[in-house]
Amino acid sequence: MENFLKIIYNVNKGRENIKVKEIELIKKAREPIIKWYQENKRELPWRKEKNPYHIWLSEIMLQQTRIEAVKQYYKRFLEELPNIQDLAEVEEEKLLKLWEGLGYYNRARNLKKAAQIIQEKYQGQMPKNYSQLIELPGIGEYTAGAISSIAYDEPQPAVDGNVLRVISRLIGSKKDVLDSKTKKEMTQNLKEIMPKQAGDFNQGLMELGECICMPNGEPLCEQCPLQEMCVAKNKNLTAEIPVRNAKIKRKKEEKTVFLLEFENKIAIRKREQTGLLANMYEFPNIDKKVETKEIDTVLKSWGLVGKDIKK
Ligand code: SF4
């Protein structure tokens, strides 16, 4: 029993030592990352000044979309809705039109809901700290960390896929980056070493992940400020790290979509108010695959009679 407890103690001690070493390495990387970012950052519209509304909007738009594509949407959105009050008061139709093409429309609806709360609870001023930001609709840990650090230099990490990749390679971690435990642990480790220039540090990590320590293909280690200390580079592990184990379960659905033409017009309908693509327009459709000979029955159920039915 005593030996067994000794083994457990040694294993835990070993883990602690590894954790300390990893945190030390990240700590050592802070300065080179900040310096590299300040010298190499790309000129992006939302980086021109530290306007929290602009940072918030850009972070939400960037969640599922490439930077280049976001730029034009961002510009148009701010021309129409230059401040939080305009966003809080905008008609949903107009809001969705401004978002058209970006997808994941709940992001836009949540922006409006959050803007209304900011108007009511914070007199139109964006809340200045992480704990208030994370209470707003559509703002999760990453976005609250990004806004509070970039706009106010609050020492909060903002861990996205880029950051997970850079840090995993830096410390040589083979933990699955798709596992929420890994993200939690990394966030915690980063919290312990956040520098005063939290905004530049977080943006530096993200920028490194996008431009140098890239997800596809070889990372550009020769241009990286961390090359001397990076475990993955020095042990030749960049192809193995980050580890991505979790499998994405895909749901397959069968549908039949109708292009109902009448007098040179095509019918569209509005979707339900809740759920996927809520309130968006679509061609009428049903949740199964039907053969041409069954189409009449479906049309009849909608009070229509079909003529010249083509597959
Ligand atoms: S040295 Fe290479 S692998 Fe390591 S962080 Fe930099 S780009 Fe990524």
Q: Per-residue pLDDT for the chain (311 aa), expressed as one digit of tens each?
A: 666 666 656 666 666 777 788 999 999 999 999 999 999 999 999 998 899 999 999 999 999 888 989 999 999 999 999 999 999 999 999 999 999 999 889 999 999 999 999 999 999 999 999 999 999 999 999 999 999 999 999 999 999 999 999 999 999 999 999 999 999 999 999 999 999 999 999 999 999 999 999 987 799 999 999 999 999 999 999 999 999 986 767 888 899 999 999 999 999 999 888 888 878 889 999 999 988 888 889 999 999 988 888 88
Contacts of residue 225, defined as CB under 8 A and 6 or more positions apart, other chains included, come to 32, 33, 35, 36, 208
Q: Residues for the chain: how many in total?
A: 311
Q: What angle, rounded to 10 degrees, do the helices at 52-62 and 106-121 form?
A: 160
- Ligand 1 proximity of 167 Cβ (cutoff 6 Å): no
Max CA distance (Å), the chain: 87
CATH class of 45-152: mainly alpha
pLDDT score for 12: 66
Q: Which of 212, 216, 220, 223 has most ligand 1 atoms within 8 Å of its beta carbon, as the pocket-test mutant?
A: 212
- Ligand 1 proximity of 214 Cβ (cutoff 6 Å): no
pLDDT score for 74: 97
Hey, which residues are catalytic here? 59
- Ligand 1 proximity of 221 Cβ (cutoff 6 Å): yes
Both tokens of residue 162? 């880029």
Cα–ligand 1 centroid distance for 128 (angstroms):
33
pLDDT score for 182: 95
SS3 302: coil
- The secondary structure of residue 176, as a DSSP letter, is B
Cα–ligand 1 centroid distance for 209 (angstroms):
9
- Ligand 1 proximity of 32 Cβ (cutoff 6 Å): no
Question: Which residue, judged by its Cα, is nearest atom 2 of ligand 1?
Answer: 221
Cα–ligand 1 centroid distance for 51 (angstroms):
31
pLDDT score for 6: 65
Q: Which residues pair with 265 in a beta bridge?
A: 262
Cα–ligand 1 centroid distance for 175 (angstroms):
17
pLDDT score for 109: 94
Pick the CATH number of 2-40+157-234 from 1.10.3720.10, 1.10.1670.10, 3.30.230.70, 3.20.20.20: 1.10.1670.10
- Ligand 1 proximity of 224 Cβ (cutoff 6 Å): yes
State the span(s) of the chain assigned CATH 1.10.340.30.
45-152
- Ligand 1 proximity of 230 Cβ (cutoff 6 Å): yes
SS3 256: strand
Give the residue from 67, 68, 90 showing the smallest Cα distance to 78.
90
State the span(s) of the chain assigned CATH 1.10.1670.10.
2-40+157-234
Cα–ligand 1 centroid distance for 231 (angstroms):
8
Torsion of CA 55, 56, 62, 63, to 10 degrees: 150
Q: Which of 165, 170, 218, 220 has most ligand 1 atoms within 8 Å of its beta carbon, as the pocket-test mutant?
A: 170
